[in-house]
């Protein structure tokens, strides 16, 4: 009986389905009550992963059906990276 309980609990953790991060989707960050375009990860912004309790970026899993719903993407604190334009 106890083996069955342990197997059931372990399989529940293994098969837990999480919302996948859409790395190819447009990413947004939250500032106040508004979402703004975040840019490209590693180029325009980064996520300080020291604080895993906050959400760094969000994405729209269903922009046509739910245009105002933003799902959590990367964890951490949003950090803006400024890059100088390339000199030609």
- Give the pair of three-digit tokens for residue 72: 């959590």
* 33-77 pLDDT, tens digit each: 999 999 999 989 999 988 888 999 999 999 999 999 999 999 999
Segments making up each domain of the chain, as ranges: 19-80
Tell me, what's the pLDDT at 22?
77
| Chain position carrying tokens 């970026």 | 57
Tell me, what's the pLDDT at 77?
93
Tell me, what's the pLDDT at 32?
94
Q: What is the DSSP string of 26-79?
A: PPEEEETTEEEE---BTTTEEEETT-TTSB--EE-S-TTT-TT--EE-SBSEEE
Closest CA to 80 of 32, 31, 33, 34: 31
More confident residue, 12 or 64: 64
């Amino acid at each position: 009986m106890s083996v069955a309980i342990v197997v059931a609990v372990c399989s529940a953790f293994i098969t837990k389905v999480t919302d996948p991060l859409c790395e190819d989707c447009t990413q947004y960050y939250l500032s106040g009550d508004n979402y703004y375009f975040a840019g490209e990860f590693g180029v325009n912004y980064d996520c300080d992963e020291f604080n895993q309790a906050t959400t760094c970026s969000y994405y729209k899993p269903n922009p046509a059906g739910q245009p105002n719903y933003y799902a959590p993407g990367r964890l951490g604190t949003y950090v803006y990276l400024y890059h100088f334009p390339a000199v030609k």
